[in-house]
């Protein structure tokens, strides 16, 4: 039973919000220096995530991972690992808490506790013109988890094997030599590259809509540490209608690794892991 509102309900609702984590205190990323280091940069490695499949690629520290739309509008589910310690991986929830529900140029991608450091920085985004639309939607979300066969089974009783969770699991296993059982728990909540999402204003539900991405669009991610990147070309395609099935039109996603210009970034070093002492008061 819904309790009737208290007399001061209006004034309680009228309290102004405060930002949970003002990011002014964070050292700002030297995006201009990063961008300058990659003007005319050569591509030193490439991989393609086929439609409804995932691919893995290693990105040396100080290099850029460019994720490009090729063939048609397509969203990608991205996992990032410390290439030398798979326990350190992307922390979508804290990235969201720090930078907002969607990320773009200048935002950093953080690793989970107890490491909590910027493992990557977004330095270019051809979709940054999109902003926030009239539905509250925006691009490159850190809200959604990743489509997975368990939720599909829960909601529809299905056995579907090409959700991003399964694609990422297979690609991680293939790249590292781990078994599927060992790889699966390492798969984590993603950066939804090119995906356009938000929350409905009336019910607060997570929504998706057709991605504005077009072939030629890209997202440049500077690797602050050596990364293992695993990217799934989501079975939802542009996510205009549904995912977790073979219904949507799907396209590949291209991953290229760019090396910095010779002589650039010579003073740059990887950020250290978080300096909390880990004693938890004992
Ligand atoms: Zn997906």
CA 229 / ligand 1 centre spacing (Å): 16
CA 257 from centre of chain: 17
> In angstroms, rounded to a whole number, what is the distance separating the alpha carbons of residues 237 and 218?
16
CA 3 / ligand 1 centre spacing (Å): 39
Helix residue ranges, H only, the chain: 9-13, 31-37, 92-99, 149-156, 164-176, 180-183
What does the pLDDT read at residue 19? 87
CA 189 / ligand 1 centre spacing (Å): 11
Q: What is the mean pLDDT of residues 162-167?
A: 97
CA 141 / ligand 1 centre spacing (Å): 12
CA 265 / ligand 1 centre spacing (Å): 35
CA 190 / ligand 1 centre spacing (Å): 9
Q: What is the mean pLDDT of residues 99-110?
A: 96
CA 20 / ligand 1 centre spacing (Å): 29
pLDDT (tens digit per residue) in 181-222:
999 999 999 999 999 999 998 999 999 999 999 999 999 999
CA 166 / ligand 1 centre spacing (Å): 9
Quick one: residue 140, left, alpha or beta (phi over 0 = left, psi -120 to 50 = alpha)? left
Which of 276, 267, 218, 261 shows the shortest CA–CA distance to 63?
261
The CB density around residue 221, as the number of other CB atoms within 10 Å, is 28
The two three-digit tokens of residue 160, written as one number: 């579907």
Which of 77, 85, 74 shows the shortest CA–CA distance to 56?
77
Phi, psi of 96 (to 5 degrees): -65, -45
What does the pLDDT read at residue 1? 67
**Beta carbons of 96 and 143 less than 8 angstroms apart:** yes
Pairing of β 218-223 and β 227-233: unpaired
Percent of the chain residues past pLDDT 90, beyond the cut: 89
CA 246 / ligand 1 centre spacing (Å): 12
- Domain borders along the chain are 45-258
The 3-class secondary structure across 159-206, one letter per residue, is CCCCCHHHHHHHHHHHHHCCCHHHHHHHCCCCEEEEEEEEECCCCCCE
CA 236 / ligand 1 centre spacing (Å): 6
CA 39 / ligand 1 centre spacing (Å): 32
CA 146 / ligand 1 centre spacing (Å): 5
> In angstroms, rounded to a whole number, what is the distance separating the alpha carbons of residues 171 and 105?
27
Compute the mean pLDDT over every residue in the chain, rounded to the nearest whole number. 95
CA 147 / ligand 1 centre spacing (Å): 4
pLDDT (tens digit per residue) in 8-59:
999 999 999 988 888 888 878 899 999 999 999 999 999 999 999 999 999 9
pLDDT (tens digit per residue) in 240-262:
887 667 888 999 999 999 999 99
């Amino acid at each position: 039973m819904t309790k009737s509102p208290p007399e001061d309900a209006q004034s309680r609702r009228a309290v102004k919000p405060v930002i949970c984590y003002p990011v002014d205190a964070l050292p700002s990323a030297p995006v201009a220096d990063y961008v300058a280091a990659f003007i005319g940069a050569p591509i030193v490695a490439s991989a393609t995530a086929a439609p409804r499949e995932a691919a893995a690629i290693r990105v040396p520290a100080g290099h850029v991972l460019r994720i490009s739309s090729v063939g048609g509008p397509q969203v990608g589910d991205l996992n990032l690992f410390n290439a030398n310690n798979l326990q350190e991986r992307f922390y979508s929830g804290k990235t969201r808490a720090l930078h907002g529900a969607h990320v773009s140029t200048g935002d950093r991608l953080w690793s989970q506790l107890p490491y909590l450091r910027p493992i990557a920085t977004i330095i270019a985004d051809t979709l940054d013109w999109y902003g926030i639309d009239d539905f509250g939607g925006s691009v490159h979300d850190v809200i959604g988890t990743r489509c997975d066969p368990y939720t599909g089974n829960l909601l529809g009783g299905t056995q579907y094997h090409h959700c991003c969770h399964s694609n990422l699991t297979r690609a991680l296993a293939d790249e590292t030599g781990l078994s599927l059982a060992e790889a699966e728990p390492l798969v984590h909540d993603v950066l939804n590259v090119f995906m356009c999402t938000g929350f409905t204003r009336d019910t607060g539900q997570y929504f998706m809509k057709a991605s504005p991405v077009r072939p030629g669009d890209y997202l440049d991610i500077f690797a602050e540490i050596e990364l293992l990147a695993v990217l799934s070309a989501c079975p939802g395609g542009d996510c205009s209608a549904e995912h977790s099935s073979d219904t949507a039109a799907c396209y590949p996603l291209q991953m290229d690794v760019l090396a910095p210009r010779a002589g650039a970034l010579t003073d740059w070093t990887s950020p250290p892991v978080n300096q909390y002492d880990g004693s938890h008061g004992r």
